[in-house]
Amino acid sequence: MHDLHEIDRARRLLGSARRILILTGAGVSAESGVPTFRGPEGLWRTHRPEELATPEAFQADPRLVWEWYGFRRERVGACRPNSAHVAIARLTLENEDARLVTQNVDGLHELALEEAVSEGLSLGGSVSRAAPIRLHGSLFRTRCTACDDRTSDRHPVDAKSEASLPRCRKCGALLRPDVVWFGEQLDPEILQRAMGAAETAEVCLVVGTSGLVHPAASLPLLTRESGGVVVEVNTESTPLTEVAVSSIRGRAGQVLPSLLAVDRNHVVD
């Protein structure tokens, strides 16, 4: 059970800040049914990252790697945003100085945002500004291994044989998932935007990440070095817990709706 006193403290911190950075990891989607990477039932318990999520693995056996991504696409494609995604979408639409940076490739933040807007919750906010800065790419995009063409793609993947794998419409070369694999650099422009948001944030709210994968895990440190504070929501403690001024033990879907239901009346004084 989460600590109501701690939630109240964190809510005040968030309520008195304009520039808020929310950094999310797999834990924010756990209650939607998307498996995390490192938990007891995490994806990396059953699959070794170096066998599946590296450029070398793809070069050695693209069929196996596509089979795994096809499976994840299918599984994630059936999932719905949960109340944490909804609360975050509302905040980023309401507060034009809030930014969302995610490590997730599941598209659930984007879906929550679309749904909030179609329900008339855009509140005059800009949807493109509220869109997540995606550090690790997307499960539902492909990138050509030859011409680099990127496309949105939600089709089921036929990974029966190498010949049936998805191919580029423009040049016919093999496509790969447009995600960042171990050993690959993040898109420098995307990283720059995320770092800018971390540097200027008064509060960095870190939700559902083990804080083990860099540079994502360095963003809260950047906020702290720049004079801001870190608030963490996680079911367990992480290396970021000791950096946080407030750390709430609980599930994102339970904690975030009350944490982000900010009473703006006691913001300006």
Catalytic positions, please?
Answer: 136
> In the numeric block, which tokens belong to residue 167?
């191919």
Nearest residue to ligand APR by CB is 27
Q: How far is the CB of 171 from ligand APR (least distance, A)?
A: 28
Using alpha carbons only, how large is the chain's radius of gyration in Å? 19
Residue 251 within binding range of ligand APR, rule CB under 6 A: yes
Q: What is the DSSP letter of 69?
A: H
Residue 94 within binding range of ligand APR, rule CB under 6 A: no
Which 138-177 positions form the footprint of ligand APR (CB under 6 A)? none
Q: Which of 90, 99, 109, 136 binds ligand APR (CB under 6 A)?
A: 136
CB 64 within 8 A of CB 160: no
Separation in Å, CA 265 to CA 72, 98, 231:
43, 18, 21
Residue 209 within binding range of ligand APR, rule CB under 6 A: yes
User: Among residues 15 and 49, whose Cβ is nearest to ligand APR?
Assistant: 49
Rounded CA-CA distance 105/99 in Å is 17
At 144 the three-state DSSP class reads: strand
One-letter amino acid at 19 equals R
At 1 the three-state DSSP class reads: coil
Q: Which of 6, 37, 93, 100 binds ligand APR (CB under 6 A)?
A: 37
Residue closest to 238 by CA, chosen among 27, 35, 4, 2:
27
Residue 31 within binding range of ligand APR, rule CB under 6 A: yes
Residue 75 within binding range of ligand APR, rule CB under 6 A: no
User: Among residues 206 and 262, whose Cβ is nearest to ligand APR?
Assistant: 206
Residue 109 within binding range of ligand APR, rule CB under 6 A: no
Binding interface with ligand APR (CB under 6 A)? 25-27, 30-31, 36-39, 42, 103, 136, 208-210, 212-213, 233-236, 238, 251-252
